[in-house]
Chains A and B, each alone.
Chain A
Amino acid sequence: MGEVRVERLHKAFPDGTVAVHELDLTIADGELFVMLGPSGCGKTTTLRCIAGLETETSGRIVIGDEVVSGLRPSQRDIAMVFQFYALYPHLSVHDNMSFPLRAAGHPAAEIAERVNEAARLLRLEPLMKRKPNKLSGGEQQRVALGRAIVRHPKAFLMDEPLTNLDAELRADMRAELKHVQQRLHTTMVYVTHDQTEAMALGHRIAIMNQGRLEQVGAPMEVYERPATLFAASFIGSPPMNLIDAEVTNGHLTAAGGLALTAPEGLERGERVVAGVRPERFVVSASDDDPGAARGRVVSREALGDETIYVVETEAGLLNVRMPPTVRLAEDQPVAVRYQGTAPPVYDPESGRVTGR
């Protein structure tokens, strides 16, 4: 078990591209830490540096109490699960799972015990004699997880392990993974580009973009108050509405007369970008509220438990999440009103959250 610390990690590739910029992360012992970002944001490179598969240009990595920079991957006492599972195709499930233990030269009795324990945990017992190509995607995934578990490592590194599964199986495996991590209470660093996975799994989420850290926080914290415009536009489906607004007396006012609750600590006349979650808006056929913006429904997605309206107003296209009981037709003239406490607002220059 151990804490993982990434200190001023910098990684530049020989062709000059900088994958990771001076990254600092502290991942607590037993934490399920998710690194989230679009492809090419440096999250996988960071993970590979922690694993020792890439050599960092500068900075250092600490696992447990040990500085592991310069150590071989096998000396770092970590286990990794790959996107394509990387099960050894010429070995049976049993041999795949015992492979790391045999490599470390453990006695046969202990190997058998640990492999059986992992097989029981992941319900792999009926599959132990099969070759990987005779397994379904979900089963291969569980074997890959099993191979990681048997080692009792200080930390698990997961590189988009669920990306290759179909949607239904992915939800199952997500629950299973979370359960296993809770049982073992082992630090897990999980890389994904899927925000649903990140929200569902993570104790904390780190959002990365272009090799830099945008925000670290608990899932709800990241959801409620994204630290940057990038984080605001990345998390949530549909994502936040980013609305240009000006601070007037007691309100944030956007084009078309749309009034939002103003956070404290802003100067009058200041121009900001407000980040409004779709569920903070209310759309109705008519509205007498002076702070409501008039508009027109341009699209409507009925998802069953909710309906997403896209409303064209002078403040731009607004995504609005409504319960299915509200029924508005496309092209219908409507009014959109803000409801609730102050939304996070961003400095349009720096893109960082301001006010409180």
Chain B
Amino acid sequence: MATHIQTEQLADAGIAGETAAPPVRRRRRFGSGIEVVLLTLFAVVMLFPVLWMVETALKETRDIYAVPAKVFSFTPTLDHLKDVFSSGSPVLSGLKNSVIVSGASTLIATVLGVPSAWAYSRFPIPGKKDQLFFILSTRFMPPVVVVIPIFLMFRDLGLLDTLQGLILVYSAFNLPFTIWMMKGFIDEVPAEYEEAAMLDGYSRIEAFWRVTLPLLVPGIVATAVFALIFSWNEFVYAIFLITDPSSRTAPPAIAGLIGGTTIDWGLVAASAMVFAIPVLVFAFLVRRHLVAGVTLGAVRR
């Protein structure tokens, strides 16, 4: 029968059987001097606002206004962070609302988007390309363009100032994105898996559920995180459609801290920091897929 010359060791070392890292990489580890300088400069410019935010959040109020600015020589304090989580804080209720709205809208977009992406990927649908283009075209417009008509519709429907309204808008915005991104992932999974499962005793839906879906989990997670980050960061709809402070999401709630006669910059910075952390954590968790999501092809055959 099959004569195998390939050894165990080789089989595990990848397709080309490579065991050592390509030598080119080692030489380039430190890069050229110019590269390092430019990248450092770029990193400082990009990260400075973040650094300043973190510093401001940790400084005492009088140090915040100190001239010249105290970059390193200040005593850190957690007072501002405590204020963010105090019971009466508008930011705390904003964060709570943000969790509800982004969680629910991501869930809805995923639950609706994944099966429709599957349908677009697997079945001959009349006018498929036009339909997909139409779905994508809803993302062409900047949110500001449609916010007025949506405002008017929501006023008639009584959805203004409700989290449900916001969930609806965010779901509608995330759905096209989910369909497109998931279609890319599903295209990568050969239809033969489902066909094999159909011959093995399952209906089409069951085959999708039992065979294709488990293979899609990484893709679904990546897509959901993208949707989650969009809903979490969204500002325009949140500020136009919600005026009641108790149902505000975090971005307008934080923006609302600025105004009035005195501005507690420490509280603003601490709120912003707390607001940014979940996004950073999620982005870190799926960093591999953030790249894969752009280049697609994350599912191994």
Contact = CB atoms under 8 A, between A and B. Distances in A.
State whether these chains interact: yes
Interface of A: 14, 51-53, 72-74, 78-80, 82-84, 86, 88-90, 99-100, 103-104, 123, 133-134, 136, 138-139, 142, 147, 151, 168-169, 172-173, 176
Contact of B199 (A51, A90, A172): A51
Interface string B112-133: 0000000000001000000000
Contacts of B211: 88
B2 interface: yes
Given A51-B199, A86-B193, A100-B199, 18 more contacts: A14-B124, A51-B195, A72-B203, A73-B195, A74-B199, A74-B200, A79-B200, A80-B195, A80-B196, A84-B190, A84-B192, A86-B190, A90-B214, A123-B1, A136-B4, A136-B6, A151-B200, A169-B2
B203 A88 contact: no
B201 A104 contact: yes
A172 B3 contact: yes
Interface of B: 1-4, 6, 11-12, 124, 190, 192-193, 195-203, 211, 214-215, 300-301
Contacts, number: 79
Contact of A80 (B12, B193, B199): B199
A90 B216 CA distance: 11
A140 B14 CA distance: 17
Nearest to A134: B11
A222 to B, nearest CB: 29
Given A88-B193, A88-B211, A89-B300, A73 B198 contact: yes
Nearest to A105: B201
B199 A138 contact: no
Contact of B200 (A14, A147, A172): A147
B185 to A, nearest CB: 14
26 contacts: A14-B124, A52-B198, A74-B198, A74-B202, A80-B195, A82-B196, A84-B190, A84-B192, A84-B301, A88-B197, A90-B214, A99-B197, A100-B199, A100-B201, A103-B197, A123-B1, A133-B300, A134-B12, A136-B2, A136-B4, A136-B6, A139-B2, A168-B3, A169-B2, A172-B2, A173-B2
Contacts of B192: 82-84, 86
Nearest to B190: A84
A84 B194 CA distance: 13
B25 to A, nearest CB: 25
Contacts of B196: 80, 82, 86, 88, 147
B66 to A, nearest CB: 58
Contacts of A73: 195, 198-199
Given A86-B193, A88-B193, A172-B3, A74 B203 contact: yes
A138 B2 contact: yes
Closest 10 CB pairs of A and B: A103-B201, A100-B200, A86-B192, A138-B2, A86-B196, A74-B201, A73-B198, A82-B192, A73-B199, A80-B199
